[in-house]
Structure 1
Amino acid sequence: MKKRKLGHSDLYVTELGLGCMSIGTEEKTARSIIEAALEEGINYFDTADLYDLGENEKIVGQSLKAVRENIILATKVGNRWKPDQSGWTWDASKVYIKEEVKNSLKRLGTDYIDLYQLHGGTIEDPIEETIEAFEELKAEGFIRYYGISSIRPNVIREYINKSSMVSVMMQYSILDRRPEEEALPLLHEHGISVVTRGPLAKGLLTDKLLSKASEKGYLDYSYHELNEILPLLKEKLAHDRPFTEVALQYNLANPAVASVITGASSPEQIKRNAAAVRSTPLTDEEVLIIKDLTKPSIYKEHR
């Protein structure tokens, strides 16, 4: 599988990464999914301290222990579980980040994290303090690089100006083109990579199409609009190939994107997604057809 450089780092990530949130807590099943990813050549695994109360990090770390030096391990910080585990609060303080990284390292069973990401963030955060925490962790050798997971243009702009982050994770798909207006061009200009999530728009951008649709629609699209657009996209672009290929290749067609993160609940899903990423890239004409049929959209909220 092809690899792309992650920002200004010396990390080369596969064009498809595994989002580990969906692998579950049944160890045998989770391991089979991770092993399938490794067999497909995937080297980028993304988890978070939040997932399954830290159990996800334990399973991911244990499953990858034998190949630790050959893979890129990413996790996230910032969402702090309440003592009674009824939910979580947001904490981007330096004290919390520097303490929580130790817990993640222990659960992952590793001495270092390749990519440590802030799991969200708002403009009200103590951004300079947060950056200081990441920079210190980098200097101390606990992490190799850091980034943020955010769709907020104003927050992203602050980190571009004040930090040495190498990546931003954000939702991006044919049905969610909001990053194209502000974030993607700006990040590409500064040599910061984008790692995308949600490329299949909750299953709408697969051959299942409207069977995955809610009556409420999806983002800016009503159910009626989806009923018109999805079959048209499939007819024009996926008449002789799986729709999943078109969806993942659309993300990879943007020069700012380093890797597309998809979840998987079975080894078969991994294999399908890997085949989609290895498939023929979209032509410039096909990208224009997609842009012509879908809404560009902008971030009205999430500032």
Structure 2
Amino acid sequence: MKKRRLGTSELYVSEIGLGCMSLGRDEKHARSLIDQALELGINFFDTADLYDQGLNEEFVGRALKSRRNDIILATKVGNRFEVGKDGWWWDPSKKYIKEEVKESLRRLGTDYIDLYQLHGGTIDDPIDETIEAFEELKQEGVIRYYGISSIRPNVIKEWLKRSNIVSIMMQYSLLDRRPEEWFSLIQEHNVSVIARGPLAQGLLTERPLEKASERVKNNGYLDYTFDELKEALHSIDSACPDRTRTETAIKYVLHQRVVASCIAGASKQEQLLENVQAAKAKDLLEEEYEALINATKQSLYTIHRD
């Protein structure tokens, strides 16, 4: 599988990464998905301390231990929780980050993290203090690089201006084109986008729209009504008639050079294989890309802008 450089870092990540949140609580099943991902050429694995209160990190760590030098391992911090208790709360403090990284290292069974990401963020955070924590962890050799996971423009702008992040994880798909407004700014800072949700909760797969959740049927998806979704999906299919919808969706996201990798969750091996095959397909023709632009909304973030 093709790899792309993450920002100005020395990390080259596969165009499809495995979003580990969907691995579930059955370790045997989780390991089978990770093993298949490796066989298919995926080298980028993204988890978080919050997922199943650390259990996900443990599964990922054990499954990848023998391949540690061959893979790029990413995890996240900031959502504080107590094992066995429901809920979590936001804590981007330097003290917490420097404590919690030790727990992630322990659960992952490694002595370094390739990409450590802030799992959210607000404009009211002590941003300089948080950056200081990540910079110290880099100097200590505990992490190689750091990034943020955020869709808030005001947060993104501050981190681009004040930090040495190499990546921003953002929800991005044909049905959620809001990040595109900020791609030129992100590129100016030599930072990469990690696209999560490229298949829009399965709406951009071969699954019939009639099988969508009741929530989608009643409320639509983002600023698409259910009827608008029907129309948009028909137009997307018409724009690329020789491609599967999964292929169209993933190649659209990868058409953006600022995007380093698509983090697609997969709970079944068939889904993982479809995602990888889609990434390996031929690139979009310019006329296909233009048709997809015209078939979908260029929405904008309306809050958290300043």
Shorter-chain TM-score range: over 0.9
Aligned to 2:250: 248
The answer on 1:219 being equivalent to 2:222 is: yes
Q: CA deviation at 1:65?
A: 0.4
Aligned to 1:86: 86
Tell me the alpha carbon deviations over residues 159-196 of structure 1, each in whole angstroms, 9 at most, x when there is no partner.
11110010000000000000011x21111111100000
Aligned residues: 301
For residues 94-105 of structure 1, what are the structure 2 equivalents within 5 Å? Answer: 94-105=94-105
Matches of 1:274 and 1:287, distance apart in 2: 20
For residues 90-129 of structure 1, what are the structure 2 equivalents within 5 Å? Answer: 90-129=90-129
Q: What SS does the aligned partner of 2:257 have?
A: coil
Tell me the alpha carbon deviations over residues 121-149 of structure 1, each in whole angstroms, 9 at most, x when there is no partner.
00000000000000000000000000000
Ranges in structure 1 where 5+ consecutive residues have no aligned partner: none
Q: TM-score, normalised by structure 2?
A: 0.96
Tell me the alpha carbon deviations over residues 28-64 of structure 1, each in whole angstroms, 9 at most, x when there is no partner.
1000000000000000000000000100000000000
Aligned to 1:178: 178
Matches of 2:289 and 2:50, distance apart in 1: 36
Matches of 1:84 and 1:67, distance apart in 2: 31
Matches of 1:289 and 1:268, distance apart in 2: 29
Aligned to 1:192: 191
Aligned to 1:284: 286
Q: CA deviation at 1:241?
A: 2.1
Tell me the alpha carbon deviations over residues 243-288 of structure 1, each in whole angstroms, 9 at most, x when there is no partner.
1000000000001100000001122211111000000111111111
Instruction: Indicate if the aligned counterparts of 2:53 and 2:83 stay in contact, CA closer than 8 A.
Output: no
Residue type at the aligned position of 1:184: F
Residue type at the aligned position of 1:229: A
Q: CA deviation at 1:82?
A: 4.2
For residues 224-235 of structure 1, what are the structure 2 equivalents within 5 Å? Answer: 224-235=227-238
Ranges in structure 2 where 5+ consecutive residues have no aligned partner: none
Instruction: Indicate if the aligned counterparts of 1:192 and 1:256 stay in contact, CA closer than 8 A.
Output: yes
Matches of 1:177 and 1:187, distance apart in 2: 15
Tell me the alpha carbon deviations over residues 78-119 of structure 1, each in whole angstroms, 9 at most, x when there is no partner.
000146621000000000000000000000000000000000
Matches of 1:233 and 1:116, distance apart in 2: 35
Q: What SS does the aligned partner of 1:245 have?
A: helix
Q: CA deviation at 1:223?
A: 0.4
Matches of 1:302 and 1:199, distance apart in 2: 22
Instruction: Indicate if the aligned counterparts of 2:239 and 2:292 stay in contact, CA closer than 8 A.
Output: no
In the TM superposition, structure 1's runs of 4+ consecutive aligned residues that sit over 3 Å from their partners are none
Between the aligned residues of both structures, percent identity stands at 61
Q: CA deviation at 1:69?
A: 0.3
Residue type at the aligned position of 1:217: G
Matches of 1:84 and 1:53, distance apart in 2: 8
* C-alpha RMSD over aligned residues: 1.0
Q: What SS does the aligned partner of 2:8 have?
A: coil
Matches of 2:205 and 2:73, distance apart in 1: 28
